[in-house]
Structure formats: C-alpha cells, structure tokens
C-alpha cells in the first residue's frame, strides 16, 4: 500500500525542546525538595510520557506525588518552557517539499495537545499540517501506540498508508504496534541503536533526508545505516 500520510513526532523531530523541558523538570524537582540533575543528565526525559520520567526521577510509583510533580512542571512549562524551544534547521523546507508532493502531514506527540497546538502556531507551522494530535492533560493517549491508533481512526487512515517519523523508541514501538512503517530520526535524542533495535524501517540523519528515506520505505523500507 502506498504511503500517503506522515505522522511527525514533535520534540526531537520538528523542534529541539531541550532547555524548556529540562529546566521545567528541574523546577518541579526543586519545588518538591528533590535534587535536580544537570540539564545534560535529563536528556533521556525528552520523548517519553512525563508520568514515566517522574516515576523514575522520584523513584516512586506514588501517583499523587507523580501528579504533583507534573503539575509543578506544567506551571513553568506552560508560561516559560513552551517557548524555550527552536525549530531544527530545514524543517520548514522539508515539510513544504512533502506537502507539495501531496502527502497528508500530522503531528503525533505525547505532549498534551493544548501545548502542541501552541508550539505549532508559535513557529507558524499550522499551514503545513492537516492536524495536531497529542495527549490529554489527564494523561490519556500519552502512550504512542494509543495516540497513533486514535489518529488512524480519526483520520480514517489504513496503517499501511501511514508512516511514523520520530526520534525515540516510543515512536518506533507505537508504529509497530499499529502495523505501521517507522522512520527513525538520528538528529534528535534517540541513538541509531535505540531506533534500529525497536524496529525503524529507515533512518534520516537530517530533515532534508526524510523525503528520500520515505520513498525508500514506500519501495520496501530499506534500512539505512549511518
């Protein structure tokens, strides 16, 4: 089946959210009286659902404590961290190329949808996407497989006609659980090993490589080793 729709992860794929996410995590931990790791020691938190990250950081399964941490994180992120963010070079040009080629483009992020929409609008990307999908503030659809399933159903897409583009294992796993192709992004926060181990059908080492890798996937998903 030909690929007609592309689902893009947001953090680590379209934008580099390093400062906003890590500083907001540091703020939440500090407010709770926990030590705050250095920014570079929090990079693994970019991509996974916040619930998972705070459970690990706080070494707890206490949902009340985890939810308190998320609330504090959002207090800062919604006002400051959201915009401590930057577009990766060549993203706009790549999206324009894909749109000109007739692909349907959608954002698929574990980030709450209300924040994802604000970020897309902030970077003036709204006209380059047919829809922006994210999780609920209550954590619903924060797991990539559930989010992708929701998008496929809502957009009436067949899994064989869609591909997931993202930089972390959660993107690859979510795609595979929905019987979709997946392209791993190596300029984000996941490693080549992480992406290939979890089922990437192709690898793009820069945004401008995405259209080429997409065509390869359409012809049979020939894995690119960097």
Task: Give me the active site residues, please.
Answer: 9
Q: What are phi and psi of 82, to 5 degrees?
A: -55, -35
Residues 6+ apart with CB under 8 A from 113: 132, 133, 134, 135, 136
Alpha-carbon span 203 to 219, nearest angstrom: 15
Contact 35, 59 (CB under 8 A): no
As a whole number of angstroms, the distance between CA 216 and CA 202 comes to: 8
Q: How far apart are CA 114 and CA 5, in angstroms?
A: 22
Distance CA(165)–CA(183), nearest Å, equals 5
């Amino acid at each position: 089946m030909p690929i007609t729709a592309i689902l893009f992860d947001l953090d680590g794929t379209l934008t580099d959210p390093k400062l906003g996410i890590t500083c907001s995590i540091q703020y939440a931990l500090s407010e709770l009286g926990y030590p705050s790791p250095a920014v570079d020691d929090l990079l693994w938190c970019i991509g996974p659902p916040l619930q998972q990250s705070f459970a690990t950081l706080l070494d707890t399964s206490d949902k009340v404590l985890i939810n308190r941490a998320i609330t504090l994180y959002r207090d800062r992120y919604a006002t400051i961290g959201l915009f401590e963010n930057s577009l990766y070079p060549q993203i706009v040009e790549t999206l324009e190329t894909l749109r000109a080629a007739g692909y349907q483009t959608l954002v698929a992020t574990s980030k709450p949808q209300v924040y994802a929409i604000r970020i897309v609008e902030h970077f003036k990307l709204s006209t380059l996407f047919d829809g922006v999908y994210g999780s609920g503030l209550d954590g619903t659809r924060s797991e990539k497989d559930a989010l992708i399933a929701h998008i496929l159903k809502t957009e009436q897409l067949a899994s064989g006609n869609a591909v997931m583009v993202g930089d972390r294992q959660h993107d690859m796993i979510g795609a595979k659980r929905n019987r979709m192709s997946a392209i791993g992004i190596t300029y984000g926060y996941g490693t080549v090993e992480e992406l290939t181990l979890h089922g990437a059908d192709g690898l793009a080492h820069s945004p401008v490589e995405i259209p080429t890798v997409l065509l390869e996937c359409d012809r049979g998903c020939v894995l690119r080793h960097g």
